[in-house]
Amino acid sequence: MDWTALWLSFRLAGLTVLVLVPLAVLAGRWLAFGSFRGRGVVEALVALPLVLPPTVFGYYLLVAFGAASPLGQVWDAVFGRSLVFTFEGLLIASLLFNIPFAVQPIQRAFEAIPHNLREAAPLSGLSPWQSFLRVELPLAWPGVLTAAVLAFAHTLGEFGIVLMVGGAIPGETRTVAISIYDSVQAFDDGAAARMAALLLAISLIAIALVFSLSRRAGRRFGGRS
Amino acid sequence: MTGLEVRIAQDGPIPLDAAFSCGPGETLALVGPSGSGKSTILRSIAGTYQPASGRIVAGGDIWFDAAAGVAVKPHLRRAGLVFQDYALFPHMTAVGNLTVSMGHVPKARRREMAARLLDMVHLTDLENRYPDELSGGQQQRVAVARALAREPDVLLLDEPFSAVDRATRQRLYREISELRQSLEIPVVLVTHDMDEAVMLADRMAVLHRGAVLQTGAPEELTNRPATPQIARLVGLGNVFEGRIEGHDAAAGHTVLSWRGQMLEVALRRDLVVGTVVDWVVPEGFVVLHRRGRPSLGERENPVRGVITSLLFQGQTAQVVMTPEVDPERQFRFSLPAHSARRNGLAQGEEVTVSLIAGGVHVMG
């Protein structure tokens, strides 16, 4: 078992969730309730990572992060480190490829809030901020948790983009998914099997969580007539 | 405590042209068909809709004044609104739905005040239930209590009885009419149900395409509508044309010709002889002649016709007949079901009814 890789994967997934989910709440609410031109374009961009081959996505990230790119140069000037083949670069890549997994469930959850409930909040004397905290967010909460679980699980499993942007530097960019691949390449079938079983278990738990959360939300909204 | 003054107007997207007031302790019903702008007017008062022009004053505060650029945000207007489908917060218990609306009350006092309100709507034992654990009628009561929890200057009811079954509705009618006697604020009820408005309101405003056509006491509107259009909107079907033939001041009536048949109606000396007018007779002023046993009083405006349809609705029979004098039109009246059976009413039978002179209303 490659504990270093496992710990790195958990750190990467945890940080991704912590940074991405609050931003996804803002973006999801905006997409659900905002009225603006070009919504279709924004929604398509949000969904793009779902259909883009990981190696293609990874390639463009590599180009964008590289020492020749403006972003790479600024990063180097500020932090004195490269963005490619580092944990920071991997984290930024992870934030980007997880956008659809985080934004879409949250957007759907906000959209599912009946309009009259959003109207009832100010009529109960709640300010816009109180309406958000006490009515909208609690009602959208299953979607927020779903987003967190999906982004976490998806980060653990991502392979192509990680390999393109991060490579496989132990303790820096070698995640558990890469480690499984390396173990197989090195004919260490035992290590590969143990790590694969662990990821399988985590994925099962994640999907069970998502399902039970959406059922709970359904019960609350379903009501009796 | 002062009342509510509303004057709003706009050309579109939803045309509005409404001006009315509602005093403290008074219940005003806004009635009209769906799409007549009733709910939009209610939301303009609550502040979740902003009309292009007008002025709304409640409890002495200006909530909206387009000319002065004043539009108080909805959460700062003290308006309690009961939604058609209640819109209770599904993630809060009954008592939670109330306390969340008590931002203006010190925290320590909220539970106690919520308990008092739940007691008022007879829900004391159900305070910890979630909305999906309550029946439709119980949800409606929580919604009313939540609207009152804000200690509003105006209570707004948006078709609050349309989502419950008939039996529950009857019970809620009684409860609401008891409740409103203890309220010292204006109550505005939006409904498309004329009977509901007559039962619960002190005054009614009839709406069509966003415009208030007539305001008055329920019996005023349902007996003496100003125009044929209002007559139809308040559910009066017997609207016909006639011509003023003369006045008999001594007998206290005006004579009207309905395609040659003379009708005596309440005196209207303001109408010049020869004027063509619309007239209406509410169903309550139509009396069936007992068949085969003519009696006194049946000389009063007798109208003969053939029954084209007879429909029993519970204890009431709805009759449609083709009047002899105006066979192109239909004349409607209702009577107790037992009376219809005893008189052997049936489709194709000939009947005679009397139109009570005092009830025939000439419009114009």
> Is B75 close to A125, i.e. CB distance below 8 A?
yes
Q: What is the pLDDT of residues A68-86, one digit of tens each?
A: 888 888 988 898 888 888 8
Of B233, B268, B293, which closes a domain? B233
Angle (nearest 5°) at CA B179 between B178 and B184: 120
> Is A123 close to B103, i.e. CB distance below 8 A?
no
Beta partners for residue B203, in sequence order? B28
- B151 and B289 inside one domain: no
> Is B133 close to A224, i.e. CB distance below 8 A?
yes
| Span of A6-20, A69-83, A180-194, B283-297 with lowest mean pLDDT | B283-297
Shortest distance, CA A23 to any CA of chain B (angstroms) = 24
Output the six-digit token pair for A22. 């609050």
Q: Is the pLDDT of residue A165 over 80?
A: yes
Output the six-digit token pair for B264. 């005596």
Q: Domain for residue A224, yes or no?
A: no
Residue B75 at interface with chain A, using a CB cutoff of 8 Å: yes
d(CA B229, CA B236) in angstroms, rounded, equals 10
- B123 and B271 inside one domain: no
Rg of chain B, C-alpha, whole Å: 25
pLDDT value at position B292?
65
pLDDT grade for A223, boundaries at 50, 70 and 90: very low
pLDDT grade for A220, boundaries at 50, 70 and 90: low
A20: which residues sit within 8 A by CB, 6+ positions away?
A: A95, A98, A99, A102, A151
Chain A CB contacts of B45 under 8 Å are none
Q: How many domains are there within chain A?
A: 1
- B206 and B64 inside one domain: yes
> Is B132 close to A139, i.e. CB distance below 8 A?
no
d(CA B49, CA B64) in angstroms, rounded, equals 11
- B331 and B216 inside one domain: no
pLDDT value at position A225?
30
pLDDT value at position A105?
94
Rg of chain A, C-alpha, whole Å: 20
Of B233, B265, B283, which closes a domain? B233
Q: Is-contact B310 B345, C-beta < 8 A?
A: yes
Give the residue numbers spanning the domain of A150: 3-219
Chain A CB contacts of B135 under 8 Å are 224
- B199 and B251 inside one domain: no
- B158 and B41 inside one domain: yes
Of B233, B257, B281, which closes a domain? B233
Q: What is the CATH number for B60? A: 3.40.50.300
Output the six-digit token pair for B105. 């009350």
Q: Is the pLDDT of residue A156 over 70?
A: yes
Q: Is the pLDDT of residue A117 over 90?
A: yes
Residue A133 at interface with chain B, using a CB cutoff of 8 Å: no
- B184 and B40 inside one domain: yes
> Is B150 close to A224, i.e. CB distance below 8 A?
no
- The residue among B82, B318, B324, B303 whose CA lies nearest residue B189 is B82
Q: Kindly write down the DSSP assignment for every residue of B222-269, as one continuous string.
A: HHS-SSHHHHHHTT---EEEEEEEEEETTTTEEEEEETTEEEEEE--T
What is the mean pLDDT of the segment spanning A21-25? 97
- B134 and B104 inside one domain: yes
pLDDT value at position A41?
93
Q: Is the pLDDT of residue A28 over 80?
A: yes
- B182 and B293 inside one domain: no
d(CA B244, CA B114) in angstroms, rounded, equals 61
Give the residue numbers spanning the domain of B28: 4-233
Return the residue matching tokens 């190696």.
A55
What is the mean pLDDT of the segment spanning A175-199? 91
Residue A221 at interface with chain B, using a CB cutoff of 8 Å: yes
Q: Is the pLDDT of residue A137 over 80?
A: yes
Angle (nearest 5°) at CA A82 between A163 and A1: 40
Cα B145 to Cα A140, B48, B101, B127, B148: the distances in Å are 26, 20, 10, 11, 5
d(CA A104, CA B297) in angstroms, rounded, equals 76
- B140 and B22 inside one domain: yes
Residue A222 at interface with chain B, using a CB cutoff of 8 Å: yes
pLDDT value at position B298?
65
**Closest Cβ–Cβ partner in A119, A127, A225 for B87:** A119
Q: What is the pLDDT of residues B242-299, one digit of tens each?
A: 999 888 888 888 999 999 889 999 888 888 898 999 999 998 888 888 876 666 566 7
Q: For residues A62, A67, A68 and A72, what is the CA-based torsion angle, rounded to 10 degrees?
A: 80
Chain B CB contacts of A131 under 8 Å are 75
Residue B166 at interface with chain A, using a CB cutoff of 8 Å: no
pLDDT grade for A222, boundaries at 50, 70 and 90: very low
Q: What is the CATH number for A100? A: 1.10.3720.10
Beta partners for residue B322, in sequence order? B306
pLDDT value at position B190?
93
Q: What is the CATH number for B326? A: 2.40.50.100
d(CA A192, CA A183) in angstroms, rounded, equals 6
pLDDT value at position A22?
97
> Is B87 close to A125, i.e. CB distance below 8 A?
no
Residue A124 at interface with chain B, using a CB cutoff of 8 Å: yes
pLDDT value at position B203?
94
- B209 and B320 inside one domain: no
Q: How many domains are there within chain B?
A: 2
Q: Is the pLDDT of residue A221 over 80?
A: no
Q: Domain for residue A53, yes or no?
A: yes
d(CA B173, CA B162) in angstroms, rounded, equals 12
- B229 and B341 inside one domain: no
d(CA B152, CA B58) in angstroms, rounded, equals 10
Q: Which residues of B221-256 are buried (b: 16+ CB within 10 A; e: fewer)?
A: bbbbbbbbbbbebbebbbbbebebeebeeeeebbbb
> Is A117 close to B104, i.e. CB distance below 8 A?
no
> Is A126 close to B100, i.e. CB distance below 8 A?
yes
Q: Domain for residue A225, yes or no?
A: no
pLDDT value at position A160?
87
Residues of chain B with pLDDT under 70: 1, 292-298
Burial class (CB in 10 A: 0-12, 13-18, 19+), A77: exposed
Beta partners for residue B353, in sequence order? B288, B303
pLDDT value at position B48?
92
d(CA A123, CA A130) in angstroms, rounded, equals 12
**Beta-carbon pairs below 8 A across chains A and B:** 74
d(CA B155, CA B148) in angstroms, rounded, equals 7
